[in-house]
Amino acid sequence: MSAPLRLMAVHAHPDDESSKGAATMARYVSEGVEVLVCTLTGGERGSVLNPKMDRPEIVENIGEVRRLEMERAREILGVQQRFMGFIDSGLPESDEEELPEGCFALQPLEKASAPLVAAVREFRPHVILTYDDDGGYPHPDHIMTNRVSVEAFEAAGDPDRYPDAGEPWQPLKLYYHMGFTKDRFEALHEAMTTRGFGSPYADWISRWEDRPQKWPVTTRVPCGEYFETRDNALLAHATQVDPDGFWFVCPREVQQEIWPTEDYHLARSLVDTTLPEDDLFDGIHCDELTEPLQR
């Protein structure tokens, strides 16, 4: 029997794993893939974004609450999950606002990357998911997450780098999440308008900068049947996700009909693959010895 394929998703805060790539992970879990979410910070400086949860006892214990939310989301998705131990940097209100001392975004790259390199070498993923170099949006922790993910991908297989982080292991593919694209929101906007729902996306689309997409979509993973699992995982992050808010305005059945994939950019690959793809593991298989091989 072949050993299972392994997927690692690297995220900045609890809840990011449920808003980016959750249906993809749920699909692969159902197919026998081992999935590990590495959460780089504890979300300690996150605001309570769901007004129904904005209570003093929650605000005062937000770090512990978010860990419990992460545990529930992990169970819903069926994934493994580890915190990497860094402190949330918070989201500055202006460019002039300084980040708090000791936060994740201010760590030296090697220090910030070491726990992830160790996790890669222990879990031995064939594929890693992360954010693009703009962080998906300009939160300092998301930008730093890209940097440490790229560093771990490139360093984990090198025995001369991070020598105290375990036996070397080289992942084969690195992807960036591409869920927030103009094409996707235009398609959902048109579908909702046509069906008479009204669309929350019109203003957003009108303000979209008219420039080429920096990271084109190379890979669309069909996973519409797991959108309910994704939504349930999102709802587990009750301090961050309002059940009456943005994430749930577009009916699930419309999403499943119009855009039943989660989308990615293939940023690094050590195996041959043909673009566009519909499978993150295209070009990869494992033999009995669990060594990654090219088909």
Enumerate the known binding-site residues: 13, 16, 142
Residue spans of alpha helices (H) in 180-294: 182-194, 202-206, 227-236, 252-258
Structure tokens at 216: 């084109």
Q: Residue written as tokens 């979209």?
A: 208
Q: Which residue numbers belong to the known binding site for Zn(2+)?
A: 13, 16, 142
Total number of residues shown for the chain: 295
Beta strands in the chain (DSSP E): 6-11, 34-41, 80-86, 127-130, 173-177, 219-222, 261-269, 284-286, 292-294
Rounded distance between C-alpha atoms, residue 275 and residue 253, angstroms = 28
Rounded distance between C-alpha atoms, residue 226 and residue 208, angstroms = 29
HSE value, Cβ hemisphere, 13 Å, CA-based, for 64: 5
User: Measuring CA to CA, how many Å separate 59 from each of 5, 13, 150, 226?
Assistant: 39, 16, 33, 32
Helices and strands of the chain, counted as H and E runs? 10, 9
CB 121 within 8 A of CB 156: yes
SS3 readout for 31-58: CCCEEEEEEEECCCCCCCCCHHHCCHHH
Q: Residue written as tokens 């084969």?
A: 172
